[in-house]
Structure 1
Amino acid sequence: MFETKKNKFSKGSLRFRHRLEYLIFSSLKRWGESASEKSLERGTLMLDILLFYLLRICRKIVKINLEFAFPNLTSIERKKIARENYRWFARFCIDVLHMDAWKDRTSEIIDFKNPEILEQALSEKKGVLLISGHFGNWEMIAPALAEKGYKLVMYVGRQTNPLTNQLQNSARASFGVETIEKGKKATLQMGRALAGNKIIAMLVDQNDNKTELFVNFFGKLASCSKGTAAFHVLRRSPVVLVTCPYVGNRLELNFQHIPFKLTGNQKKDTQEITQKITSALETVIRQYPEQYFWMHRRWRARPPQEPEKIY
């Protein structure tokens, strides 16, 4: 999840590293599944202290991102958001470890605020492009919807560790969530899913070093994938933004239909669709700024007119 420098490993050392990561992650998941509420709270507190004070993970990146996103706030106000951001992230991580414990009962912790928006989109029989970002508890969205009976497919990137990758996909499958991994077959698989009126869930706020598409995000150009726009133009599948912020001790699932008027100019339509999606996500993030993944180098890729590196 955190960005690290690429290291060169021999095949033997890489296999050992993968097995070690798998052992640690699977052990933590077993702990999380059976842990009591008090143990989870202590785990959250310890992880928060570890990340913020001891390891100081991504502190500089968070500071830079918040300066870009909230230039009108004082330094003290941004520091407060940054501190709350680590508390949120620690809570999110512990909740991910505990997620299997909520199997068959996600409705006990999640409130569906306006599911009629999703139902209306599905009634068009073109599938649904369900988009979100690294915000709130994004990992609970797909399991909660699948347990409500929705046919849902997650479009995900393949992790570098095949063992933890399989562990994550198996956990999703246990909730009834299918996965499509990025690759040569993904476009065909996604097309079939939409043709079957399934929901394709995807995160759309990652930095993309291979694209020439840039849109405004918190007042600064950010790179974006063309995927969502391409499928909407091709199949006219409705686009729905879903977010899952923490509200007190619960999670709220909120839906927002994002309409578009296509002009027939593919480049122009792609730009407008992607901008509207990004702006809608930004609006929600502004309501809960401490619940966004500011540790990500969101503005890492730069357009030709702004070549200067940020990080």
Structure 2
Amino acid sequence: MGDWLVDRALRMMIGTALLLPLRLRLWVMGRLISHVVAPLAGYRERAMANLAHVWPEMPEAERRRIADAVADNAGRTMIENYDVKGLLRRMSDTPVQGPGYAAAQKARDEGRPVVFVTGHFGNYEAPRAALVARGFEIGGLYRPMSNTYFNAHYAANMHALSGPVFEQGRRGTMGLMRHIRQGGMGVLLFDIYDSSGTAIDFMGRPAPTVTSAADIALKTGALLIPFFGTRQPDGRSFHIEFDVPVPHGDPVEMMRQVTRALEARVTAHPEQWFWIHRRWKPKRQRKRAAAKMGP
């Protein structure tokens, strides 16, 4: 019953926001998440703790400012991604930059597969929408929500942008790999804590990182192209950039290069990365390291 009530409230909030003009819609959702949801749900506190972990010398007032801006961006991103047609229309007029885009176009013309990789930065769906608006078909993985009622329309919305989209997990990963091996294209987000991952420094701190994107690229012969959608100061437009393809080689080193690409964006625009995520979990990492060492 609790999940159902939460879903009803979210559906009402999303539906009402979608009735508003774009500029007002983004402002309302940004303020609602940053000033109501984030403080109540503990997101502000978590973001500030992550910021202190990376930048311990940062004043508390600055950490709070960034944490609130992070929540504002999260609110804007959520409602943008629920307006699939609107996002596609906006991204069709947004310039696409960077050497990786020309490489992706060439791969499409030649029928070569591509794995796009990005992080929870800016609006991570904006580059995918820019590609779809230009005739690309981009598959992907999504992480199912714990609330099954909310997950039903969340998953449907993921499929609405472009497919095929698979639920995260072994079966979903195999499905995406088959799609890519057949010459398809897909996108993966890599910046989520995974205890099975390899520790790769992110923002100067070790963060367990899965090598799935690199592994799939190596097994299928696909290009591995990092892309990013950086929100601009007006709060609604984006800078869409595709980096040069990552050379094939050791998968951990490939993911180090992808991590450095994300780090560069986060350093320049810290308010646009989702510091709400438990990316490092330093206490858990210390416990796991101690357990491996034994008594």
Same fold (TM over 0.5): yes
Instruction: Tell me the residue number matched to 1:5.
Output: none
Task: Quote the residue 1:3 is aligned against.
Answer: none
2:275 maps to 1:291: no
Residue of structure 2 in register with 1:190 after alignment = 176
Q: 1:238 offset after TM fit, Å?
A: 1.0
Q: Which of 218, 239, 242 is residue 203 of structure 2 equivalent to?
A: 218
Instruction: Give the drift of 1:166.
Output: 2.5
Moved more, 102-111 or 239-248: 102-111
Q: Deviations over 1:206-236 (max 9, x none)?
A: 0012x05111111111011121122122222
Give the letter aligned to residue 60 of structure 1: E
Q: Are residue 116 (structure 1) and residue 97 (structure 2) matched?
A: no
Percent identical pairs in the alignment equals 19
Equivalent residue, structure 2, for 1:280? 261
Cα displacement string for residues 178-212 of structure 1 (whole angstroms, at most 9, x for unaligned residues): 21112342243122211232211111000012x05
Partner of 2:36: 50
Contact 2:118 2:124 in 1 (8 A): yes
Amino acid at match of 1:106: R
Aligned counterparts of 2:40 and 2:2: Cα–Cα separation in 1: 20
Q: Which residue of 2 aligns with 1:235?
A: 220
Q: Give distance in 1, aligned partners of 2:18 and 2:183.
A: 33
**Superposed counterparts of 1:28-47, under 5 Å:** 28-37=13-22, 39-40=24-25, 41-47=27-33
Q: 2:137 aligns with which of 130, 140, 151?
A: 151
Would the alpha carbon gap of residues 149 and 65 (structure 1) be closer, same or farther in structure 2, given more than 3 Å must change? Answer: same
C-alpha spacing 1:31/1:72, structure 2 compared with 1 (3 Å) = same
Offset, 1:134: 0.7
Tell me which of 90, 113, 121 is aligned to 2:75: 90
* CA-CA distance at 1:139 after TM superposition: 3.2
1:105 aligns with 89
Q: Which of 233, 245, 253 lines up with 1:248 in the alignment? A: 233
Q: Stretches of 4+ moved more than 4 A in 1?
A: 71-77, 303-307
- Structure 1 spans left out of the alignment, 5+ residues: 1-15, 263-268
Distance 1:136 1:50 in 2: 21
Q: CA deviation at 1:272?
A: 1.1
TM (norm. structure 2) is 0.83
CA separation in 2, counterparts of 1:288 and 1:247? 10
Distance 1:142 1:113 in 2: 13
Q: For 1:163 and 1:56, locate their aligned partners in 2 and report how far apart those are by CA, in whole Å.
A: 19
What RMSD over aligned residues (CA atoms) do the two structures have, in Å?
A: 2.7
Alpha-carbon distance in structure 2 between the residues aligned to 1:261 and 1:178:
25
CA distance in 2, matches of 1:17, 1:126: 47
Q: Secondary structure at the match of 2:116?
A: strand
Q: Tell me if the contact between 1:126 and 1:235 (Cα under 8 Å) persists in the aligned partners.
A: no
2: CA distance between counterparts of 1:204 and 1:129?
12
| Superposed displacement of residue 252, structure 1 | 1.9
Which amino acid is 1:282 matched to?
Answer: E
Give 1:202's aligned residue: 188
Does structure 2 retain, via aligned residues, the 8 Å contact 1:136–1:244?
yes
* Aligned partners of 2:44 and 2:64 also within 8 Å: no
The whole-number CA distance in structure 2 between the counterparts of 1:186 and 1:24 is 30
The alpha carbon displacement at 1:101 in A equals 5.5
Give 1:71 deviation, angstroms: 4.5
Structure 2, unaligned runs of 5 or more: none
Compare 172-181 and 75-84 and name the one that shifted more.
75-84
Give 3-state SS (helix, strand or coil) of 2:243's partner. Answer: strand
Name the aligned partner's letter for residue 296 of structure 1.
H
Partner of 2:246: 259
- Which structure shows the higher helix fraction? 2
How far did residue 305 of structure 1 move? 4.2
Match of 2:2 among 13, 17, 24: 17
Tell me, in whole angstroms, the C-alpha distance in 1 between the residues paired with 2:197 and 2:91.
41
